[in-house]
Chain A
């Protein structure tokens, strides 16, 4: 048994490592093809990441990505593809900012209220897709991506000054008004480097909860079972429809948290330039991290590193889109390499079984099976 685990660990690591190596090699080819120095950009990126302020940026961004990726991963484990994390977190952040700006409560209560509103809104928005899937059989891929567009339109309408937004004097921006200081989440100051958002630690806590919930509870077992085979789970007494709806709600609630590190730690308001696209990056990260909370953490750090350390490439005459190309290549190589590693694993298993059969264990196993 122990040996098998080691095999699995090696196989599990082989996928991402292979993907990274391939992506790196392909990026180098792209650089060569465009007549650039193929190594200089990497050096600049590592250089830039050696500064404290860039490290803080990376960690803060990773926290945000981590939450988005967890939201996607909850769906993946259920064989549900929640592509709507993007709309869910934006709508949730916006509503949470609105509610947060309209009340003043003692510190912890104020923050708790904002967090709860964000989770409820995210869950509600994802729940629509869950409801449509369970009652009408609408594919969640289609409904969530459409809900993204609806969320965009809804947020744009709500934030108009004639509705709930406001336009600060002299500004061309629209905001939801500033949240009072009691609703700011304290961060961890890093001297000149700025501060690590306090919510980053909450994100890490969510990772623990995710691990515990999936691997150590009955609910998690049901969820994984339904994800592996809906009919088999149903046969063993799991209400698949209920599971679909519940996991969509959970996925949405976690997605609702994704906007909060920025909202509670930095901007304290939702404005037209609130970060977008985090939900889609979350899909990449969940894929790369194989839905494993630790794997997702590393991939979130990796993608955040690529994002932030590439920003300074501009000033050295390289396009910072090199990092975007790399991220795209990572996704493609991840998918290909996981499939390759999986096939290799299956073949290896078959070989082993074959060897054992040849060694004469077959009769024993058959007997055991008969019993």
Chain B
């Protein structure tokens, strides 16, 4: 008897766990349109609605649907899936006649390596990876460290307490690029400023990209240590950090999209000094367009400061008014483009 009840309790608990990870998307079945050019994206962990990485890729697809008359399809991953599942997803998308098929996130690299040779006429795009190469593979990569360097310059100029924070979502090499650029930008501008780096979770626990409470707690800790500018590269978790810093009347630096203009963060927008933007939307759009135009992109396509693939947003008027800060940022930007400054990619 005792055994049954115990297993019962545990069963109910694990069922609750299983249910709680179930998030509902809310997609429509509008993809079933006529035969035309078709393009597909396969999302990274989190899928559509993450207010960040995946949504930016979707925006690119949506733009292509509108401007280029493309039929777009999307496919979402499951939590903790294996490479075999990704191979299956890409194969299905390619077999359905989608061209290009774009894998959002570096995790698709092994799968694209296996699938691309089987569909030589289809272009495969991968975002954030340049390790798998092939004639029909387009590697879309960004110089996140360059944008972050500019954020570091701005932070070092703005801080009064000589302490600035960095919050990374999950400690992966990609997020470390953000930290490296930021820390270097701060040090090059004002060596006396201290950078407090902190990561929310360790892989394979990707909560650090999705749980705002983690970002909030981390920001609170950095505020207690006197930080007055906090740069969060943490996806949705970053909104928690923005909330905390905003309530303490300190500065935030946002990431990926221009967070000053994001509806979900409207209450805190005054505190968002600037954002390091990563133009995934246009990168996805450009790739789809190149395929439609019959000149598919292939090989490494790098988006840096020079192409505005990464940039520092100027939408907060308070930031745009800080003439000396803007001047320093512009100078640093020019120096990076001219090659006078090389930004490190690892801290």
Which of A's residues lie within 8 Å of B, judged by CB?
53-54, 57, 60-61, 76, 79, 81, 83, 90, 141, 152-153, 155-157, 167-174, 194, 227-228, 262, 266-267, 271-278, 280, 283-284, 287, 307-308, 311-312, 314-321, 324-325, 327-329, 331-332, 334-335, 338-339, 342
Contact = CB atoms under 8 A, between A and B. Distances in A.
A307 B78 contact: yes
18 contacts: A83-B10, A153-B202, A155-B204, A174-B172, A266-B84, A267-B110, A272-B203, A277-B80, A284-B18, A287-B7, A307-B78, A311-B78, A311-B89, A314-B76, A315-B75, A316-B29, A317-B32, A319-B27
A174 B31 CA distance: 36
Contacts of A60: 84
Contact of B15 (A61, A271, A307, A328): A328
Given A169-B131, A171-B106, A173-B173, A335 B82 contact: no
A152 B206 CA distance: 11
A170 B80 contact: no
Contacts of A318: 29
B139 interface: yes
B22 interface: yes
B98 to A, nearest CB: 10
Contacts of A174: 172-173, 203
B204 A227 contact: no
Nearest to A154: B202
The 8 closest A-B pairs by CB, nearest first: A317-B29, A170-B130, A156-B202, A276-B80, A171-B131, A277-B80, A331-B15, A335-B11
A311 B88 contact: yes
B196 to A, nearest CB: 20
Contacts of B128: 172
Contacts, number: 171
Interface residues of B, number: 64
A314 B300 CA distance: 30
A321 B24 contact: yes
Given A273-B83, A280-B18, A314-B75, 19 more contacts: A172-B129, A173-B109, A173-B129, A173-B173, A174-B173, A277-B79, A308-B88, A311-B88, A314-B76, A316-B29, A317-B30, A319-B24, A321-B23, A321-B25, A325-B22, A328-B19, A335-B8, A335-B12, A335-B15
A218 B3 CA distance: 22
A283 B80 contact: no
A269 to B, nearest CB: 9
B81 interface: yes
Contacts of B80: 275-278
B83 A267 contact: yes
A280 B20 CA distance: 13
Most buried by B among A267, A329, A332: A332
